[in-house]
Chain A
């Protein structure tokens, strides 16, 4: 067994087990802890796949940012009854059956129509190139993305495509900008939604949030 395979089985096993624990556990704070391990495991898998930048972003943004936010939310709302909220047995049963069915469908679909791509083990130089290319693609530098054959289209139909099945070089500057604007909007929107509102005193149902 190669080192790559060993690491994959280790990380994948951990990630899968932690993901299942997130579902199974009733305690919301522990679910957050399991989610942390799941996300870290996914980051490890991304490193294993040679996607260093994406892996580090996963750790930085997802684990260090988003998940902290989630845990913060848990801590702000975790009061007695909400920490462990039980779900009915019937609901559990139904969702388990649906979940297993879904997984069955997905895995059967995967295994009966295996997708084979030729790929070689990535080397150090390859990784360096990948990260640089990633930045160039985001900045829409000309020639960043390599020309390659469109996959998934049968060979005889490829000729009918506008550019004969060859993708032209594309950049992602516009999506990048859209995402930036989107983040700004989210920042403002979240601040607006979550701010403490002044209520007229004595209104029923409105209780000031705990001050931290």
Chain B
């Protein structure tokens, strides 16, 4: 893009600066919109899982504008800083969290070549930047000057630092298979039909995907690992004292990092921006010749974002289905289960690459067809299951004949 501006006669530094500005503007808009959409989705998913309707009124049929209205409300709220708070830390905390989450998007390719900075160690960079996000939480939590916030922040620090280890090791598993850390190359390597995706490459990458996803859920502090903000124990955890705009920023950071870790999972395991439906030559033809590649790029970006949201939806589904763990259970899950499992996967994939590489072709077809078959069967089952119709009046004990108690015996 810098070249484009230079062709308009701008000097090189100015053109670079302008290109960077536009790229970051597009990214931050994407993050904002995706946060707005994710909050709405979260409320709808939660409501449906709990057999409710969720937001229905604001902005038409499905409550589309509910989040916007909420955001407006939050912006109008008074910006409180508690008396005991460390003012500087309290104020900068949310921005550090947002910066960490936002920087990860800089190297995340949305399509073939649709990436602000095509870094050759992109996945490592993303993990590194997202690991700085907790500083906002720790400093904000400590700066609040409240016990709940400090406890939430300390839990958060312990949890994220521990979960980073198995997460990084799981990321190494497909890196070993692909032989690169560049996310763009990852995307290009997995083009074609879905059995080329690395999740089906061998049993170890298949295991690594699930372990990575669980660890990523934990490192985004999503339920069932959201001990840092467990409202039953810690009021609201690290953001107890926050209100208004700063609270909003914490939430943007959380949803941003959800999309970012889903993006990593998609690119590393689930075929990046490819639909996985077309064999390689066709897809190449379509995306590179039709309308000079522009059409292909748009399709890529749309597919990638939809896949990301599929994983975000799974995270929400998990959140509203599973109960929250205890903090010691969270740490034990990481250190006693995920860490050994991920080390085993790393060792296994190395051995597979050394010795069992010839097995890959037949394994990946079997695995891919089985998994997709199961997925389709699940969807069919869900669609075909008759939904319970709402009945007039309350169901349950009120409709049943009254139980017969022998009142006389009690007295």
Contact = CB atoms under 8 A, between A and B. Distances in A.
Contact of B157 (A3, A32, A33, A71): A71
B86 A30 contact: yes
B92 A33 contact: yes
Nearest to A29: B142
Contacts of B16: 3
A72 B121 contact: no
B154 A72 contact: yes
Contacts of B125: 52, 56, 59
Interface in B179-237: none
Contacts of A127: 120
Interface stretch (A62-70, A101-109, A145-153): A62-70
B128 A56 contact: yes
Interface string A8-44: 0000000000000000000101101100100010000
Contact of B124 (A40, A60, A71): A60
Scoring B142, B151, B153 by chain A CB atoms within 10 A of each residue's CB, the highest score goes to B142
Nearest to B136: A36
Contact of A52 (B17, B120, B153, B157): B120
Interface string B79-105: 000000010110010001000000000
A93 B7 CA distance: 57
A75 B131 contact: no
Contacts of B294: none
B90 to A, nearest CB: 11
Interface string A62-91: 011101110110010000000000000000
B128 A53 contact: no
Contacts of A68: 134-135, 138, 157, 161
A135 to B, nearest CB: 10
Contacts of A72: 154, 157-158
A53 B124 contact: yes
Contact of B131 (A36, A53, A60, A69): A60
A59 B121 contact: no
Interface string A101-129: 00000000000000000000000100110
B373 to A, nearest CB: 39
Contact of B161 (A56, A65, A124): A65
A57 B128 contact: yes
Given A2-B13, A29-B89, A127-B120, A63 B132 contact: yes
A6 interface: yes
A68 B136 CA distance: 11
Contact of B135 (A36, A52, A212): A36
A72 B168 CA distance: 22
Contact of B128 (A2, A64, A212): A64
A33 B89 contact: yes
22 contacts: A1-B13, A2-B13, A3-B12, A33-B88, A33-B139, A36-B135, A40-B132, A52-B121, A52-B125, A53-B121, A56-B124, A59-B128, A60-B168, A64-B128, A65-B164, A67-B135, A68-B134, A68-B161, A71-B138, A71-B142, A75-B142, A124-B118
Interface of A: 1-3, 6, 27, 29-30, 32-33, 36, 40, 52-53, 56-57, 59-60, 63-65, 67-69, 71-72, 75, 124, 127-128, 131, 212
Given A27-B86, A63-B132, A127-B120, 20 more contacts: A29-B139, A30-B86, A30-B89, A36-B132, A53-B121, A57-B128, A59-B125, A59-B128, A60-B127, A63-B128, A64-B132, A64-B134, A64-B161, A65-B164, A67-B135, A68-B161, A71-B135, A71-B157, A128-B120, A131-B121
